[in-house]
Structure formats: C-alpha cells, structure tokens
Amino acid sequence: MKKAYLLLADGTLFEGKAAGYEGCSIGEVVFNTGMAGYQEVLTDPSYYGQTVCMTYPLVGNYGINFDDGESKKSWVSGYIMREMCEYPSNFRCQKSLDAYLKEQKVVGLQGIDTRRLTRILRNSGVMNGVIYTEGHEPDEKTIEEMKSYVVKDAVKSVTLSETEVHPAQGERKYRIGLMDFGVKYNIVRELCKRGCEVTVLPGFTKAEDILAAGYDGIMLSNGPGDPAENVGIVEELKKLIASGLPIFGICLGHQLMALAINAKTEKMRFGHRGVNHPVKDLDEDRTYITSQNHGYAVVGDTIDPAIARVRFVNLNDGTVEGVEHIGKPIFTVQYHPEVCPGPQDTSYLFDRFLENIDKHKGGQF
Ligand SMILES: NC(=O)CC[C@H](N)C(=O)O
C-alpha cells in the first residue's frame, strides 16, 4: 500500500498509508469526535473546504449505503482516520468506505496518530494542511497556497441552482420555504414527515420572491464557511425578519440571523464537531445532548437585548447555542436538531417551529 502524508501549516508532518483517492489536496484540518456517522459527515456540505480527522480509531465498519447521505456527494477536502475498515459488515452496506472515497475523489490518509493530531489542533486551533499520497508531493507553490488558504464563496459553492419541491408525507399541513446554504437532507425529511411541503430555495433567493410565494414559515439551513462573508444574504434576512413570518435557523442559518440583527460572529479555536455536546436550555433549566459541526459562534454580548436573547448555551465552553427573538416567532440554534449523525433529543424543535406557525396563523404572534 502506498504511503500518504499530512503536512500542517506549522510544518508538522504525519506519515501514514493511503486511503481512498490518491492525490494532493489542501484544506482546513478539523477533528470530529463522533463514534459513528462517517457517511453523514462526508456528505454534510458544511464541511466544504475542510479536511476531517475522525478521532474514533476505526472508521468504515458498516460501509456506505445509498440512503444515509446528507447530500448528493462528499464535500470534504480530505479524510483522516487511525484505521479504515477494509471489510465492512452490515445488512445495509452497499460499498466500502475506501470505494466511496475513491469514487468521490476524496484523498484519504490512515495509520497516523490521530490523537496527536487532535491535540495539536486543540492547542493551536484549527490549522491548514495538505494531504497527499506518495507520488503526488506538493511543490513549494502548493505549500504556500496551503498556508494562506481560506474557505471562500462557501455557500455559493454548495447551494442549489434551481428550486426543488419536496412533497409532504400524508396530508399537506404547511408550506415551508427552506433557504439552502448547504442543506442536509434530514432537515427536509424532518419537515416532510410532519406534513410540510418543503420548497428548497437557492441560498441567494431574494426576500421579495420568498415573501411573494406565501410560505407559512421560513427555515434557514446549515452551511459551510465564515458566516460573515454572506453580506448579501444577511440583507435579505433582515427583510424576512421584518415580515413577521415564523423563522427557524440551524447552524449557519443561526449565525446569519444573528448577523441580521447586527450581532457579531467569531471564529472558535477548534470548533465543535461531534455528537455529544451538552447544551442547556436556560428557559427550561434542562440539558440536551446535541450533534454539532461548527467553527464559528455568535458572540453573546453583541446581541441587542431589545431584539433577542440567548436561550441555549454550551456547557463545555459557555458559547452561544441558540437565540430567541423577543416578540417574534423566530428562534435559531447553533447545534443540529436534524442530527444525522447524532442523538435525537432535540428534534422537538421542528414541532416548536410548526407550533409557532400555528400561533402566527391564529394571530398570537
Ligand atoms: N454546520 C454549519 O452550518 C456550520 C456553520 C459555519 N460554517 C461554521 O463553521 O460555524
């Protein structure tokens, strides 16, 4: 088997073995602590531009199937594992992880000390790196490019170009406009199974067009990149807020809503990527275990208390995990109630969104 390497921006070199596609690829190196859910991680568009290191030591045990993808393809720049399972075993398995990485042209690396890499990223913060297979060594120019790499035009790179309508399961009770900043399929599934007809809208759709379509509520999806680069989208969100329609935002959708009320976002040192992040609902004095994938966070004290308030906080580091608007049927969360992967403790938030729509229709909001 060929050798493969990861060179970090600080000069640290890891030597391991090739996995998946052979090549050379630049990315922001991040780590994910989930024990399972690698197919969902690979297909989550929020990882666009990132090379993901899995901290769980054996990846690929149950293979890849055609149903669990969170989008049509893989978006990661590279994939790092301690050990990739060569012989998956599961009744739903349709191909091996190795075959999937090859098909999706994802350069992989296995056999390195992923704990050491994770410790470096925890101490120094997420760092750029180049992952390459023997025979595809980066030249000086590529190394320089890697050092100054920034994930740019992220939403533009992953969003749909055409509107897509997903029918409600059973009787149609609601019509939802879902802005696609890099949506995970399970947001669509969670809404459809609750009787929503979901229209997935390209992320750059104008507020006027969304409002003219007469949706019962607006959902803002997750997505990749630095939230602050989406200046145009934030302007459209300001108009959606002013309309008074019920809105529910997840992850990037949450960050963009915060920017739309003139709060600020900041880059975290190493982010939250995993499936066991404890989040406290301050209103209910109750803690939920949540699925997460983000590298930016809303800065709590930049939120104008006359407009909104922090309702959820992360118990590991105290960062903002959710915001509720004052007097408006709008709430947003930094974590992933749609999970995939992760624990389903917070899927009730989709019901809360639909309750807000009922209240809004009934004139209560
Ligand atoms: N999953 C997401 O929506 C991520 C949001 C944003 N790109 C971040 O990293 O913070």
Domain ranges in the chain are 3-151, 155-361
Tokens encoding 237: 């969100």
User: What pLDDT is recorded for position 1?
Assistant: 87
Number of the ligand 1 atom closest to the C-alpha atom of 222:
3
Catalytic residue among 53, 192, 196, 251: 251
Architecture of domain 155-361: 3-Layer(aba) Sandwich (3.40)
Q: Quote the CA–CA distance of 195 and 175 in Å, as a whole number.
A: 9
Q: Is the peptide bond before 341 cis (omega within 30 degrees of 0)?
A: yes
Segments of the chain scoring below 70 in pLDDT: none
Q: Are 250 and 187 in contact (CB under 8 A)?
A: yes
| DSSP one-letter string for 127-148 | EEEEEEETT----HHHHHHHHT
Nearest CA residue ID for atom 7, ligand 1: 224
User: What pLDDT is recorded for position 365?
Assistant: 82
ipTM: 0.98
C-alpha separations of 356 from 221, 237, 244, 337, 364 in Å: 18, 18, 11, 17, 9
Which are the contacts of 119, defined by CB distance < 8 A and separation ≥ 6? Answer: none
- Does the model's pTM come out above 0.80? yes
Ligand 1 binding pocket includes 46 (Cβ within 6 Å): yes
**336 labelled catalytic:** yes
User: pLDDT tens digits, residue range 120-130?
Assistant: 999 999 999 99
Q: Does domain 3-151 have CATH number 3.30.530.50?
A: no
Q: Quote the CA–CA distance of 214 and 352 in Å, as a whole number.
A: 20
Ligand 1 binding pocket includes 223 (Cβ within 6 Å): yes
Q: How far is the CA of 36 from the centre of ligand 1 (A)?
A: 20
Q: Quote the CA–CA distance of 164 and 200 in Å, as a whole number.
A: 5
User: What pLDDT is recorded for position 119?
Assistant: 98
User: What pLDDT is recorded for position 89?
Assistant: 97
SS3 97: helix
User: What pLDDT is recorded for position 209?
Assistant: 98
295 is in an annotated binding site: yes
DSSP state of 1: -
Ligand 1 binding pocket includes 224 (Cβ within 6 Å): yes
Ligand 1 binding pocket includes 60 (Cβ within 6 Å): no
